[in-house]
Chains A and B, each alone.
Chain A
Amino acid sequence: MATPIVELKDVSKRFVKSLDMAGKLAAKLGANVREETVHAVDRVSLSVAEGEVVGLVGESGCGKSTLGRIVAGILPQTQGEVLYRGQPLSALSGQARVKAALAVQMIFQDPYASLNPRMRVADIIGEAPLYHGLTDKAGEVAYLDETMRRVGLDPAYKKRYPHQFSGGQRQRIGIARALAVKPEFVVCDESVAALDVSIQAQILNLFMELRAALNLTYLFISHDLGVVRHLSDRVVIMYLGRVVEEGNTDDLFANPNHPYTVALLGEIPRLDTRKRVFVPVKGEIPSPLNPPGGCHFHPRCPHAMARCSVEAPVLREIAPGRRAACHLNDAS
């Protein structure tokens, strides 16, 4: 197998809310206060091959966005290693480090919050390629126009500010900004979630065109299983910081293994199911501050056994190309 373009090895991210002065004092005096730790991402390994589209699915608080940010190099991981083309990022320096950073870009969820309202579109898109020497002063305008046209924006609008665009167009600006530094790998974090259905289809089509034209690799983070199914070659399902299942898209949707995946797929409202009697999963997503022991899903799982509450299941291969973390797989 070729070297994956990006690989995560046992990556964890913990957010610690440390005690302030008063808290420390209270703790010394015996009060019941202590540091709170959120295991946003808990020992996740993931590899993405060149040209692949990997869908990362999960509900709020499962750590999918945090994982996306670690992949994109925006957040440092607490533990583990991120590899770019087989090289650990921590070992790279100088030119090689910059090259790896530029190769992985991110497109954010909220097209309103992720663009600087005081910058013109020309600067939002054009600043980075000029700085990194992908174009020079002479070629700047042509480079900008080409990038804007590529994402379906009229270059005549380059002097405008973000507030003068609609939601869908703003998302195109965000895409153009990411593409302007010629990345190989793009992390899309809920990039169509804030858009109306008809606009969402336009942006999804754009993602697919760009992939074909520029040979891009995507990590597509979404809570929308319909979107992920349409776009991805492979799907990774997360629950409370851990990967519970991964596999080839068609295979996973046809044959979900983990009870959480089964529940998640059962909950999607679909156009062709009419007057369906909803059979909901019981319970809520537990707080990541205080996750249940053993398998995180056991309090909501219809198949939970005594073992599930004490021992966390290991993510292991259940079929070629399929991995799942569930004790039920041991029984069979």
Chain B
Amino acid sequence: MTLEMTGEATLRVENLQTHFDTKAGTVRAVDGVSFEVRQGQILGLVGESGSGKSVTGFSIMGLVDPPGRIAGGRVLFQGRDIAKMGEEELRQLRGNRIAMIFQDPMMTLNPVLKVETQMIEAVQAHGNVDRRTAWTRARDALGQVGIPSPEERLNSYPHQFSGGMRQRVAIAIALLNKPDLIVADEPTTALDVTIQGQILYEVQKLARETRTALIWITHDLSVVASLADEICVMYAGRIVERGSVDQVLDAPAHPYTAGLIGSVPSRNVKGTKLVQIPGVMPSMLNLPSGCAFRLRCSHADATCEASAPPASGGARQVRCFHPLTEVA
């Protein structure tokens, strides 16, 4: 069992609220999200587009730009609140203790600089090391993520790499300063199946070896099933269900989670009608009263309309008045 209850969480998010002020009104993209990740733990943050999973990731990194703002709650990284930090303090942390891997590696890489330049810069920005040592660290990091002949590849530009290799470079940059926490936002979504398999293999190995805490943001339940220890399922800015991978996937308590699992073709008998969640994700500007999932849910009744269901406490959580399984 990898869920270690000892020691302080690397990251503890408490009642995070990230809002976007738009002309049409305030969008509560993240509305009261709480979770924590420990050393060596992999947390899967799962949701569909518009669920607020990426904004949660950006909030942790202190990367929310106007019109967005963190409107409430705390993001405690090793006990210090990121939401209250100044830009300089954040810069010390980002790329050093906390790193992010984006869906598109070209968001990380500068197209006109050699990989070498970018990696050495990232090392020297956070530590008083000479160029030679920084170069060695860069080379080792590339080797660590499975890039063949790293000495030569350091001398290349990003466009000379394939998509999968670029994502490896981005992961290597994230690893340079041996961070305590990595936030990965859909890093394998744009990649082919065999390349995705390679990246997942490297990531799994790294998390085990370096004991880095990892938040894996994705829309793909099957990826987190084989990778993560714990899953948080998000819907319309809230975590609707949380628990260990086995708990959530084998005995989903929230009707939305159950619907998502049912929609995966491999879970259905071949050729039969897939379980489908009716309707579409509501607009974040115009959420239904009470439970946001109410209009798509077959279990909804008057209780669900009257108020939003609170989160049940504990490590296994569900936000639903009519959970499908009892959650202790």
Please report A residues at the B interface, Cβ cutoff 8 Å: 59-60, 166, 168-169, 196-202, 204-205, 208, 223-227, 229-231, 249-250, 263-264, 266-281, 284-285
Residue of A nearest to B270 (CB): A230
Q: Are A223 and B193 in contact (CB under 8 A)?
A: yes
Q: Determine the distance from Cα of A274 to Cα of B248 in the docked complex, in whole angstroms.
A: 12
Q: Determine the distance from Cα of A229 to Cα of B165 in the docked complex, in whole angstroms.
A: 29
Q: Nearest-CB distance from A253 to chain B (Å)? A: 9
Q: Are A196 and B219 in contact (CB under 8 A)?
A: yes
Known contacts A200-B263, A278-B201, A280-B201; 5 additional CB pairs below 8 A are A226-B265, A227-B265, A230-B274, A264-B193, A270-B222
Q: Given the known A-B contacts A264-B193, A281-B194, are A205 and B276 also in contact in the complex, defined by CB atoms under 8 Å?
A: yes
Q: Are A229 and B264 in contact (CB under 8 A)?
A: no
B126-179 contacts to A (CB < 8 Å)? 162, 164-165
Q: Are A59 and B264 in contact (CB under 8 A)?
A: no
Q: Are B276 and A271 in contact (CB under 8 A)?
A: no
Q: Determine the distance from Cα of A276 to Cα of B196 in the docked complex, in whole angstroms.
A: 14
Q: Are A230 and B192 in contact (CB under 8 A)?
A: no
Q: Are B281 and A284 in contact (CB under 8 A)?
A: no
Q: Which residues of B contact A231 (CB under 8 A)?
A: 265, 271
* Residue in A168, A196, A226, A270 whose CB lies within 8 Å of B226: A270
Q: Which residues of A contact B280 (CB under 8 A)?
A: 166, 168-169, 199
Q: Are B265 and A230 in contact (CB under 8 A)?
A: yes
Q: Are B201 and A274 in contact (CB under 8 A)?
A: no
Q: Are A230 and B193 in contact (CB under 8 A)?
A: no
Q: Determine the distance from Cα of A268 to Cα of B49 in the docked complex, in whole angstroms.
A: 22
Q: Are A271 and B193 in contact (CB under 8 A)?
A: no
Q: Nearest-CB distance from A101 to chain B (Å)? A: 30
Q: Are A269 and B263 in contact (CB under 8 A)?
A: no
Q: Nearest-CB distance from A192 to chain B (Å)? A: 10
Q: Are B265 and A274 in contact (CB under 8 A)?
A: no
Q: Are B275 and A201 in contact (CB under 8 A)?
A: yes
Q: Given the known A-B contacts A196-B219, A250-B270, A274-B245, are A267 and B196 also in contact in the complex, defined by CB atoms under 8 Å?
A: yes
Q: Nearest-CB distance from B214 to chain A (Å)? A: 14
Q: Are A201 and B277 in contact (CB under 8 A)?
A: yes
Q: Can you name 27 A-B pairs with beta carbons within 8 Å?
A: A196-B48, A196-B49, A196-B219, A197-B264, A198-B276, A200-B263, A204-B265, A205-B274, A223-B192, A223-B193, A226-B265, A230-B265, A230-B266, A250-B270, A264-B194, A267-B196, A269-B222, A269-B227, A270-B225, A271-B222, A274-B249, A277-B201, A278-B226, A279-B201, A280-B201, A281-B198, A284-B195
Q: Are B48 and A274 in contact (CB under 8 A)?
A: no
Q: Which residues of B contact A268 (CB under 8 A)?
A: 193, 222, 266
* Residue in B262, B266, B278 whose CB lies within 8 Å of A270: B266
The residue in A169, A226, A250 that gathers the most chain B C-beta atoms within 10 A of its C-beta is A226
Q: Determine the distance from Cα of A224 to Cα of B201 in the docked complex, in whole angstroms.
A: 19
Q: Are B194 and A198 in contact (CB under 8 A)?
A: no
Q: Give per-residue flags for B40-77: 1 if the beta carbon is below 8 A from chain A beta carbons, else 0.
A: 00000000110000000000000000000000000000
Residue of B nearest to A60 (CB): B192
Q: Does B295 contact A (CB under 8 A)?
A: no
Q: Nearest-CB distance from A53 to chain B (Å)? A: 9
The residue in A202, A231, A273, A284 that gathers the most chain B C-beta atoms within 10 A of its C-beta is A284
Q: Which residues of A contact B195 (CB under 8 A)?
A: 59, 284-285
Q: Which residues of B contact A196 (CB under 8 A)?
A: 48-49, 219, 281
Q: Are A277 and B276 in contact (CB under 8 A)?
A: no
Q: Which residues of B contact A278 (CB under 8 A)?
A: 197-198, 200-201, 204, 226
Q: Nearest-CB distance from B297 to chain A (Å)? A: 12
Q: Determine the distance from Cα of A249 to Cα of B164 in the docked complex, in whole angstroms.
A: 29
Q: Are A269 and B219 in contact (CB under 8 A)?
A: no
Q: Are B193 and A197 in contact (CB under 8 A)?
A: no
Q: Does B267 contact A (CB under 8 A)?
A: yes
Q: Which residues of A contact B222 (CB under 8 A)?
A: 226, 268-271
Residue of A nearest to B265 (CB): A230
Q: Which residues of A contact B220 (CB under 8 A)?
A: 197, 269
Q: Determine the distance from Cα of A277 to Cα of B203 in the docked complex, in whole angstroms.
A: 11
Q: Are A229 and B201 in contact (CB under 8 A)?
A: no
Q: Are A267 and B197 in contact (CB under 8 A)?
A: yes
Q: Are A59 and B193 in contact (CB under 8 A)?
A: yes
Q: Does B261 contact A (CB under 8 A)?
A: yes
Q: Give per-residue flags for B177-203: 1 if the beta carbon is below 8 A from chain A beta carbons, else 0.
A: 000000000000000111111101100
Residue of B nearest to A166 (CB): B280
Q: Are A263 and B194 in contact (CB under 8 A)?
A: yes
Q: Are B274 and A201 in contact (CB under 8 A)?
A: yes
Residue of B nearest to A273 (CB): B226
Q: Are A59 and B194 in contact (CB under 8 A)?
A: yes
Q: Are A281 and B219 in contact (CB under 8 A)?
A: no
Top 10 closest A-B pairs, CB basis? A201-B263, A230-B265, A278-B201, A267-B197, A280-B198, A59-B192, A196-B48, A198-B277, A269-B222, A201-B274
Q: Which residues of A contact B265 (CB under 8 A)?
A: 201, 204, 224, 226-227, 229-231
Q: Which residues of A contact B23 (CB under 8 A)?
A: none
Q: Does B325 contact A (CB under 8 A)?
A: no
